[in-house]
Amino acid sequence: MMFKKGYNKPTTIEAILARCKDTIGGCIEFHGNRNNKNYGQVSLRGKRIGAHRAIWILKHGPLTRDQHVLHICDNPPCVNIDHLKLGSHKENMHDMCSKGRHMNGRRTECYNGHAFTPENTMYRGGKRRCRICWRAWRNAFERAKRQKNRLINNQRGE
């Protein structure tokens, strides 16, 4: 039986590090296959995962479903174990937003052009909202609710 080259080889830390180069800042960048977000990709136990996750698993053991491997250095191809930490999805999203990598995290104004200033910004349900737009929506909603109640009351003959 013939296997593709490298198909049956077990993935080890040494095999991953063989495809890496040291860079300035202490990062060890993976130079093998990468996905569209520049994260290194390797096959571990027949499953394709991020190179940084594979390094963590091989060094510290398996991850649970709710555990994420976060980059302290903010460099996606980095597999330096000292630049990685374990965290939750929520911590990962907070980290992404605080570093300005979330598509809406970089926005300085709402869709209607109102600036996201501390006075005009509110957080509801974990999302950033414009106070001016939210008040306008709430007023329109309350107005529609009053109209609906008036119609119902008129149909009842009250």
Dihedral pair phi/psi, residue 101, rounded to 5°: -100, -5
Total tally of structural domains belonging to the chain: 2
- Encode pLDDT of 48-100 as tens digits: 999 999 999 999 999 998 999 999 998 999 999 999 999 998 888 888 877 77
Same domain, 35 and 84: yes
Integer-rounded Cα radius of gyration of the chain: 25
Same domain, 94 and 155: no
Same domain, 114 and 99: no
Residue 138's domain spans which residues?
107-158
With 70 as the cut, is the pLDDT of residue 29 above it? yes
Same domain, 96 and 125: no
Q: Select from 65, 83, 104 the last residue of a domain.
A: 104
Q: Report the chain's mean pLDDT, rounded to a whole number.
A: 86
Same domain, 67 and 21: yes
In 12-146, the DSSP E strands lie at 20-22, 28-30, 41-44, 47-50, 68-71, 84-87, 121-124, 127-130
Same domain, 57 and 10: yes
pLDDT of residue 138: 94
Same domain, 63 and 116: no
Same domain, 33 and 92: yes
